[in-house]
Amino acid sequence: MPTRRRAPALVPPLPAVQVARGTVADALPDGAEALLLPVTAGSDGVEPREGAVEAAVRYRIDLGDLAERSGATGAAGDVAAIVLPRGHGDVALPWTDLPHRLGLVGVGDGTATSLRRAGAAVARATRGWGTVVTSVASGSAPEVQQAFAEGYLLGAYRHPSRAARPSPGPAESLVLLGGDADAVRRAEVVARAAWTARVLAVTPSNTKTPAWLADRATELAEAAGLEVEVLDERALAAQGFGGLLAVGGGSATPPRLVRVTYRPASSGRPAHVVLVGKGITYDTGGLSLKQRQAMVPMKTDMTGAAVALATVLGAAEAGVSHEVTALLALAENAVGGASYRPGDVLTVRGGTTVEVSNTDAEGRLVLADALVHADLTLDPDVLVDVATLTGAATTALGRTHAALFSPDDDLADGLAAAGERAGERLWRMPLVADYRPAIDSAIADVHHVAGAGFTGAGAITAALFLQGFVGHRRWAHLDVAGPARASAAAHEVPEGATGFGTRALLAWLSGEV
Among residues 185, 177, 38, the alpha carbon closest in space to that of 121 is found at 38
In angstroms and rounded to an integer, the radius of gyration of the C-alpha atoms of the chain is 25
**Model pLDDT, residue 163:** 72
**Model pLDDT, residue 87:** 52
Q: What is the distance of C-alpha 126 from the center of its chain?
A: 23
Q: Give the C-alpha separation, 128 to 170, whole Å.
A: 6
Residue 131's beta-bridge partner residues? 32, 173
Q: What is the distance of C-alpha 268 from the center of its chain?
A: 30
Residue 354's beta-bridge partner residues? 346, 446
Half-sphere exposure of 221 (CA within 13 A, CB side): 26
Among residues 317, 50, 16, 314, the alpha carbon closest in space to that of 152 is found at 16
Active site includes 208? no
Do 176 and 187 form a contact (C-beta atoms < 8 A)?
no
Which phi and psi angles does 228 have, rounded to 5°?
-145, 140
**Model pLDDT, residue 96:** 57
Active site includes 290? yes
Which stretches within 250-362 are classed as H helix? Answer: 292-295, 303-318
Q: Give the C-alpha separation, 48 to 13, whole Å.
A: 34
Q: Give the C-alpha separation, 317 to 73, whole Å.
A: 38
Do 33 and 66 form a contact (C-beta atoms < 8 A)?
no
Q: List Cβ neighbours of 473 (8 Å cut-off, separation of 6 or more).
A: 374, 375, 380, 381, 382, 383
Of the ranges 125-129, 228-232, 386-390, which one carries the lowest mean pLDDT score? 125-129
**Model pLDDT, residue 169:** 87
Q: How many H helices and E strands in the chain?
A: 15, 20
**Model pLDDT, residue 401:** 98
Mean pLDDT on 450-462: 93
Angle at 369 between CA 366 and CA 371, to 5 degrees: 105
Of the ranges 242-246, 464-468, 508-512, which one carries the lowest mean pLDDT score? 508-512
pLDDT tens-place string over residues 157-169: 999 877 767 778 8
Strands 227-231 and 79-83: unpaired
pLDDT tens-place string over residues 85-137: 665 555 555 555 677 788 899 999 999 999 999 999 999 999 999 999 999 98
Q: How far is CA 392 from CA 247, 278, 387, 397, 419, in A?
A: 21, 17, 13, 9, 21
Do 347 and 333 form a contact (C-beta atoms < 8 A)?
no
Q: Give the C-alpha separation, 118 to 37, whole Å.
A: 11
Among residues 86, 118, 116, 121, the alpha carbon closest in space to that of 101 is found at 86
Structure letter (DSSP) for residue 285:
-
Task: Report the chain's terminal Cα–Cα distance, integer Å.
Answer: 20
Strands 256-262 and 323-333: antiparallel
Q: Give the C-alpha separation, 232 to 214, whole Å.
A: 10
Which phi and psi angles does 175 have, rounded to 5°?
-110, 120
Beta strands in 4-49 (DSSP E): 16-20, 32-42, 45-48
Mean pLDDT score across all residues of the chain: 92
**Model pLDDT, residue 47:** 87
Q: Give the C-alpha separation, 384 to 327, whole Å.
A: 10
Q: Give the C-alpha separation, 492 to 425, whole Å.
A: 14
Active-site choice (117, 198, 364, 485): 364
**Model pLDDT, residue 24:** 78
Q: What is the distance of C-alpha 131 from the center of its chain?
A: 28
**Model pLDDT, residue 7:** 47
Do 412 and 406 form a contact (C-beta atoms < 8 A)?
yes
Do 387 and 304 form a contact (C-beta atoms < 8 A)?
yes
Buried b (16+ CB within 10 A) or exposed e, 296-332: ebbbbbbbbbbbbbbbbbbbbbbebbbbbbbbbbbbb
Q: Which amino acid, one-letter code, is at 472? A: H
Structure letter (DSSP) for residue 298:
G
Active-site choice (124, 290, 428, 473): 290
pLDDT tens-place string over residues 263-276: 998 767 889 999 99
Do 56 and 45 form a contact (C-beta atoms < 8 A)?
no
- Split at pLDDT 50, 70, 90, the class of 508 is very high
Q: Express as a percent the part of the chain with pLDDT over 70.
A: 95
**Model pLDDT, residue 239:** 98
Q: Give the C-alpha separation, 301 to 336, whole Å.
A: 19
Coil, strand or helix: which one is 202?
helix
Q: Give the C-alpha separation, 104 to 41, whole Å.
A: 12
Mean pLDDT on 364-392: 98
**Model pLDDT, residue 209:** 98
Among residues 427, 424, 426, the alpha carbon closest in space to that of 502 is found at 424
Ordered DSSP codes for 363-412: HHHHHHHHHHHHHHHT--SEEEEEE---HHHHHHHTTTEEEEE-S-HHHH
**Model pLDDT, residue 100:** 77
Mean pLDDT on 149-162: 93
Q: Give the C-alpha separation, 473 to 273, whole Å.
A: 11
**Model pLDDT, residue 264:** 95
Mean pLDDT on 431-435: 97
* Residue 328 in this model has a pLDDT that exceeds 90: yes
**Model pLDDT, residue 5:** 52
H/E element, 79? strand 79-83
**Model pLDDT, residue 3:** 55
State the CB neighbour count (10 A cutoff) for residue 36. 27
**What is the crossing angle of helices 502-509 and 409-422, to 10°?**
120
